[in-house]
Amino acid sequence: MTAQNPDRISGQRRPLKAALLRKSRGILTWSDDLQDGFSQIGVETLATSFRPLSLVERLNDRRRNGKLFDNPATLRRIVSELGYFAPDLVVTLNYPGLPGPFHAALRSALPGNTPIVGWLCDRIDSFPQDHEPCFDGVYYFDSSCLPALAAAYGSTGALLSFLPLAASPSRYADLRIPAETRTPRLLFAGNCTPDRQVIFRKCRALGMPLDLYGPHAGNFPMIWRNRKFRTSDLARLYQRYAVNLNPLQSGNTTSGLNMRTFEIPCAGGLATYPLVEDLPRCFSPGKEIIAYQTLGELADYFNRAIRDPDFANSIALAGHARVMGEHTFRHRAERFLADWQNHHSHP
């Protein structure tokens, strides 16, 4: 897909530009991966942070008790960056709106009717009280977000659309390890939070041998497992184990899919996920991913995968093909481009 736009000054065609606004990189790589997805389709990108960066911004932040959108120095920097970059699209990551004055300042820096849209990767129950529904569109990864978004945006004409998360094939490369050579155990790799620990105990009680990797995993004496792992290490873990556990994270996801749901099959691993409302919108349950309603069902699937490597291989291969065909960050960048390349004015 070619991303071009008539130049506003010379009339010459130039690559489209997208600006990504984020709170911080954090533990997720989705900001960098979306930026890479845009680059793959020829869109020039700028990524900037709402967090204070310079010494002046940090001093302002301290004076104002760390209020994220109440820092004049940070706002001046973002406005300056956007004004110089002149994007054709602004994607705000993980916010359904912005405080009115902050949004107005961003608008003043943008050329023409440049759309500003949001993409959520955490669910919301209600619209933030100190923010305004000011975006041209909001993409939600979890359909349980829609009622709050619809109530806030009402008749504004903003686009409210389901857009699942994705995976980066460059981070989670598939080495095509056959199922019969994998460790015949269940794996969870990630932050072993207290609510997840409850699930881990139940899995083990049902006879599923489970290995944990990540913060708070509690491994002793193998304490090297109790740490945050790089994405390349996670990919190798997903490939080495017969089945990968991926429970819901309480408070963050209800009906949608977390990033691990896409990253495991991207790496060629056999993924599992609770049978939530949005799962069939992204994968074919039982064919591209192991979907379960109870941990007892998961135990049955686990035992079958251990006994029948062909069954395990078929799901892992089909899941990988689905991700590569529909669920990479390049696909998400193409979706943004398709929705907004010909945008003129907000209704």
- Please list the pLDDT of the chain residue by residue as tens digits (347 residues): 456 564 443 345 678 999 999 987 655 788 999 999 999 999 999 999 888 788 877 777 677 666 778 888 888 989 999 999 999 999 999 999 999 999 999 999 998 889 999 999 999 999 999 999 999 999 999 999 999 999 999 989 999 999 999 999 999 999 888 888 999 999 999 999 999 999 999 999 999 999 999 999 988 888 888 899 999 999 999 999 999 999 998 788 999 999 999 999 999 999 999 999 999 999 999 999 999 999 999 999 999 999 999 999 999 999 999 999 999 999 999 999 999 987 644 33
Residue 27's pLDDT is 59
Check if the beta carbon of residue 249 is closer than 8 Å to that of residue 192: no
Q: The tokens 């960056």 sit on which residue?
A: 81
Residue 73's pLDDT is 86
Q: Mind spelling out the 3-state secondary structure of 2-44?
A: CCEEECCCCCCEEECEEEEEECCCCCCCHHHHHHHHHHHCCCE
Domains 4-166+328-340 and 179-326 fall in the same CATH topology: yes
Entry pTM: 0.92
Residue 111's pLDDT is 83
User: What's the CA gap between 137 and 186, in Å, rounded?
Assistant: 40
Check if the beta carbon of residue 52 is closer than 8 Å to that of residue 73: yes
Check if the beta carbon of residue 258 is closer than 8 Å to that of residue 279: no
Check if the beta carbon of residue 322 is closer than 8 Å to that of residue 265: yes
Q: Is the bond preceding 265 in cis, omega lying within 30 degrees of 0?
A: no
Domain with residues 4-166+328-340, CATH architecture: 3-Layer(aba) Sandwich (3.40)
Burial of 62 (0-12, 13-18, 19+ CB in 10 A): exposed
User: What's the CA gap between 76 and 183, in Å, rounded?
Assistant: 53
* Fold observed for domain 179-326: Rossmann fold (3.40.50)
| Strand locations in the chain (E) | 4-6, 13-15, 17-22, 44-49, 89-93, 116-119, 137-140, 159-162, 183-189, 210-213, 241-244, 272-274, 290-292
Six token digits for residue 234: 């996670």
Check if the beta carbon of residue 104 is closer than 8 Å to that of residue 311: no
User: What's the CA gap between 110 and 116, in Å, rounded?
Assistant: 10
Name the residue among 235, 298, 297 with its Cα closest to residue 269.
235
Question: Can you give the residue ranges of every domain in the chain?
Answer: 4-166+328-340, 179-326
Residue 84's pLDDT is 94
